[in-house]
Amino acid sequence: QNLLTIYDFERRYYELLRPLDWVLGLLSLDIGIDLGTANTLVSIRDKGIVINEPSWVAINKRTRRPLAIGAEAREMVGRTPADIVAIRPLRDGVISEFEITEAMLKYFIDKAHEQMIVPFPRPRVVVGVPSGVTEVEKRAVYDATISAGAREAFLIEEPMAAAIGAGLPIIETRGSMIVDIGGGTTEVAIFAMGGIVVSRSIRVAGDEMDEDIVQYARSKYSLLIGERMAERVKIGVGSAFPMPEEQTMTLRGRNLINGLPQAVEISSIELREAMAPSVNIIVDTVRDALDETPPELVADLMEVGICLAGGGAQIRGLAERIEDAVKMRVWVAEDSMTCVARGAGRVLENLDNYRRVLVGLDRGSTHH
Ligand code: ADP
Ligand code: MG
């Protein structure tokens, strides 16, 4: 296969440079990046997570020039003057605007790089990309990383990085499974022997649940609420499975009939109903992936269970909901939102071990 040749080539090239690389490695920072649809996290070898900011960029509408990135850009959302717009370039897992993605990567790499004692050599960077991305998109991320100042760039599929970060034994023969629920995408993957055996990537995740809640408030209470309000109640009292003690929270918005501000108490029971469309799709996707999994691996999974990662994994009762649907143990990874970044960092610490789990690039045309 094509990828194998590239991999062989890379390995030989790498062997040749290894003595030099060892010296550079002592001085340089190796950086793992989780380029998420909602949040970008950066981890540095031996230091852990150093950056955790929303994946927002504020740009000038006319020139499309970035004006602010990360937390600062998110602060501008909804408050921008007419000629500035705040966007999420990775939303829905698509690298829609290359230049903006590049600016964002550069900002985060520079920010991490500032932590170095000396400003050179440039860092080696591992970037997590959604497993569904096209060859063109991978290329775009790779190029953006290099042009953002990386000495070497490696791509890893996000579910793979999430699994490594969650401590799953993906290199072993035994099967394991991750469900990474982010903002824009949910990624399901089943691993064995360092490879992804079955995978699913859907554009239903945390954001879609927020939209469900906006819809629900509108149709049930004629209440117009913003996305951030919806996210707040989702995190506060959202739920996917009956809870021992149901809770309520205040929803604030504007009444659509009289145009006046209005507050409504919303319960975790109502939110469960509101979020059901997205939650059901996620559950069905997990079930589909399991249906396609070879029986030997299913047997392994029955032993080790299914691991949930990403911010969406923290929805109350989601693990129970999936457990109930697939009759298998489901657990939430420790510090689920940082799994991908920590996994990417781990890969850099053991590049020799993990080299084979990295994404091959069809680099026919360009070599930097
Ligand atoms: P991405 O990898 O796409 O950037 P993240 O893994 O950072 O996404 O997760 C972001 C999503 O997780 C958002 O939709 C956010 O609302 C949701 N989220 C974060 N914390 C919680 C929580 N405690 N409960 C429920 N959802 C949460
Ligand atoms: Mg993610």
pLDDT digit string, tens, across residues 258-312? 999 999 999 999 999 999 999 999 999 999 999 999 999 999 999 999 999 999 9
Count of H helices and E strands in the chain? 12, 16
Distance 163 CA to ligand 2 centre (A): 12
Distance 315 CA to ligand 1 centre (A): 9
Residue 19's pLDDT band, with cuts at 50, 70 and 90, is low
For the cut 60, the answer to whether the pLDDT of residue 90 exceeds it is: yes
Cβ–ligand 1 distance for 275 under 6 Å, the answer: no
Q: What is the largest CA-CA distance in the chain?
A: 72
Peptide bond into 54 cis (omega under 30): no
Is the CB of residue 161 less than 8 Å from the CB of residue 130?
Answer: no
Of 116-120, 135-139, 188-192, give the lowest mean pLDDT range: 116-120
Distance 207 CA to ligand 1 centre (A): 8
Query: Which residue(s) pair with 58 in the sheet?
Result: 68, 86
Q: At what angle do helices 206-221 and 268-291 cross, to 10 degrees?
A: 140
Distance 19 CA to ligand 1 centre (A): 41
Residue 317, both tokens:
């009762």
**Mean pLDDT, rounded, for 162-167:** 96
Of 236-245, 334-343, 350-359, give the lowest mean pLDDT range: 350-359
Task: Read off the pTM.
Answer: 0.89
Residue ID of nearest Cα to ligand 1 atom 26 = 312
Task: Note the pLDDT of residue 24.
Answer: 57
Task: Note the pLDDT of residue 113.
Answer: 81
The better pLDDT of the pair 95, 106 is held by 106
214, 233, 314: residue to mutate for ligand 1 pocket, most atoms within 8 A of CB: 314
What confidence tens digit (pLDDT) does each residue in 32-41 have?
999 999 999 9
